[in-house]
Amino acid sequence: MYEKEEHRLIRSTIREFAEQEIKPLARELDERQEFSYEITRKMGEIGLFGMVTPEKYGGQGMDYLSYIIAVEELARVDGSHAATVAAHNSLGIGPLVNFGTEEQKMKYVPPLCSGEALWAFGLTEAEAGSDSRGSKTSARLENGRWIINGSKIFITNGSTTITKGATVQTVSGEADGKKEFSTIIVEADTPGFTARTMKDKMMWRASNTSELYFDDCTVPEDHLLGNRGDGSKIMLKTLDDGRLSIAAMGLGLAQGAYEMAVTHAQTRRQFGKPIANFQAIAFKIADMALKVELGRNLLYKACWLKQTGQEFAMQSAMAKLYCSEIAREVADESVQIHGGYGLMKEYDIERFYRDQRLLQIGEGTSEIQRLVISRYILR
């Protein structure tokens, strides 16, 4: 219903790219914890950055489902590279396009659509995860300049050599006894701004995750993104969109794990026949296929609602919750079907089992998604 011929073409194109360019290197990059600039450049060349960005700003001008299918197909092969694309499009480019002035869009967005540059979104802090309003990073306006102090953590694409900056949520003051939040553009070479790569992650080891530090980091007043005090609004809008891409990562990972299970079950022999012939295994595979199909329909419906200008925030939370949860369930069952082999690094399912774990945490935990959904139902 939701997928058209152009979407099927995008799927086949990205699947071929992922199989040929990413899959042969994914295990080695994961082992070395290495962010691949070469693959990132190639992803830019085939148009994976700025997919839903208007052509006026250097993007592809595609619909949202096209982007979601692309992320899904990348995640079917490797979560790290899917994360690079998802974070850059939804969290990096998205806020600039949705809330930037015309001058800001023309200055920052075109290079971000080519693969030549990346952009980060600084929201999470050591004491501000699910409670985003617990942010302590501050920005005070003095003599026409913002002076920023504080830090951010777990920021995707924050410290690569091609990262050109970050959009940072700050506490910019108080209004009626409550914190006032504003988002500010900070370019990578700004004095007082440093970024440090985080290593030894369990998952997404070939993606870039960073800590950002601001020590009297000073930027011009016109680096404010959106209106002063609109920080929470910008953050919530960004997360609504971003949840769809995380859902796509969960769906793609589940699809890949399911396919691995089917292949292994058909080739692994026990008691003189393929283990797929045993009902215990066949029923697991049937359940996995069902979950993947349900996740795809839920996610694509949310994309359709967004594309047609309808309210989609609750469905976005539902899709993120369900697809991240089935990624865990399908990956776990796939490991079970692989048996001891599923615990060895030479089998890709071992990496998938690790990669899925972040999906129930990043961009809103499963618990927060349930809170969001329940509030829409009961409001």
Q: Which residues are known to be catalytic? A: 363
Of 267, 253, 245, the residue nearest 26 (C-alpha): 253
The residue to which tokens 């500010």 are assigned: 184
Q: Give the contacts of 7 (CB within 8 A, at least 6 positions apart).
A: 65, 66, 69
The neighbour count for residue 297, using CB atoms within 10 Å, is 13
CA 252 – CA 83 distance, rounded (Å): 12
CA 237 – CA 160 distance, rounded (Å): 26
Q: Provide the Cα torsion 11, 13, 15, 21; round to 10°.
A: -160
Token readout for 254 is: 């589940």
CA 318 – CA 302 distance, rounded (Å): 9
Phi, psi of 121 (to 5 degrees): -125, 110
Tell me the residue ranges of DSSP E strands in the chain. Answer: 118-122, 138-142, 145-156, 163-175, 178-187, 193-197, 209-220, 224-225, 269-270, 273-274
**CA-CA distances (angstroms) from residue 285 to 68, 207, 294, 339, 355?**
25, 30, 14, 14, 20
| Amino acid identity for residue 364 in this structure | G
Judged by DSSP in three states, 157 sits in coil
356, 323 contact by CB (below 8 A) = no
Phi, psi of 125 (to 5 degrees): -130, 170
